Structure 1
Amino acid sequence: MLHHYRMFADYNRWANQRLYDACATLSDAEFRADKGAFFGSLHRTLNHILVGDRAWMKRLTGTGPAPRALDEILFDAFAELRAAREAEDARIIDWLGALDDDALSALVEYTPITSPTPVIQRRDRVLAHVFNHQTHHRGQAHAILTALGKPSLLLDLVYFQRTDGAQWG
């Protein structure tokens, strides 16, 4: 399973790069336009994905910033948000690279941002959510891009495996 999660970390880095490349072509007004997605705009959706990753990495590693709200705007400027996304993707990849298979069954205790009740979960179950969460909200970001009249992105895992991620195929 560790190999599987490392693949997902690399895939998420790749997909995030493609998504941010597409967002870089937008005007600031387009980037901030509310298009009816769960978090409204690309600006808010991309901030939310980073909020989620930072919250989970804080829980998993005990280090890094801990966001206070799921809709927190961590970075207002696109360039700063992109740089933080790239750094977080590298952090996730590096952290997974240092784990061994036994580490996946370790228990993680955390308190959700939305509830004061502590939760205990296996690390591998948490990681499944982390990667699914990114994919879910990247899909919303993709829908916003197409609503803005931009070309559809190829973000499928299998496309990654057949191209840049051939080592995972």
Structure 2
Amino acid sequence: MTNTPSALALHDHARLMAGYNRWMNQKLYEQALTMPHAEVVAERGAFFGSIFGTLNHLCVADVIWLKRFAASAVSPLAELDAWPAPTSLTMPMADTLPALWAIRQQLDELIERWVMTLDDEVLARPLDYHNTRGLPFHKTLFFLVIHFFNHQTHHRGQVTTLLAQQGLDPGVTDLLMLIPEAS
């Protein structure tokens, strides 16, 4: 990744966010995996109910978006053809947190490989897709990738709060920690 604003490219943003995604998921799962299963799945009043429900939603949403992105170019995302298409935003991806963590790690590895295939030309292309309600959209891939990573950050923030309410601290969560020093 380059360090000067004039040399920054759209793909640099995607690569930074993919690294941040993996880093934060590791931190959150490390904390959540110390909790008893009953506590991880306990209803906590969050939008997706529990810590597990929120982490599961992130996996579901990532699969939905990655399957859409797979249509934009030949890439490692073709591996997702073997994965079932989520039928809802809460479709169970696993029964236990360790099993969900295994899925999360596969997704994070796939995301990092995928963003390495992106260049600014690909990111500038439009992507036609349908949302989960079947409505059609035509949007620039780069902005959809920004949404993809922002969605993850949004829900990981919720998990961070839920963990903090249980006395667990994942430590520093700021993207700032991964931004390289300027030369």
Structure-1 separation of matches of 2:145 and 2:66: 10
TM-score (norm 1): 0.91
Is 1:60 aligned to residue 69 of structure 2? yes
Contact 2:53 2:90 in 1 (8 A): yes
Alignment of 1:130-149 (within 5 A): 130-149=148-167
Alignment of 1:1-169 (within 5 A): 1-62=10-71, 63=78, 64=80, 65=83, 66-113=85-132, 115-151=133-169, 153-161=171-179, 166=180
* Range that drifts further, 146-155 or 135-144: 146-155
Change over 3 Å in CA distance of 1:35–1:73 after alignment to 2: same
Q: Please, which runs of 5 or more residues in structure 1 have no aligned partner?
A: none
Which of structure 1's runs of 4+ aligned residues deviate more than 6 A?
none
Count how many residue pairs are aligned between Structure 1 and Structure 2: 164
Q: Please, which runs of 5 or more residues in structure 2 have no aligned partner?
A: 1-9, 72-77
Task: Return the index of the structure with the highest Cα Rg.
Answer: 2
Structure-2 separation of matches of 1:52 and 1:9: 15
1:126 partner amino acid: L
Instruction: Tell me the secondary structure at the aligned position of residue 91 of structure 2.
Output: coil
How big is each residue's C-alpha offset from its partner over 1:57-116, in whole Å with a ceiling of 9 and x where there is no partner?
000014413211001111111111101101101111101101221000111111111x22
TM-score (norm 2): 0.84
Structure-1 separation of matches of 2:25 and 2:15: 15
Contact 1:142 1:153 in 2 (8 A): no
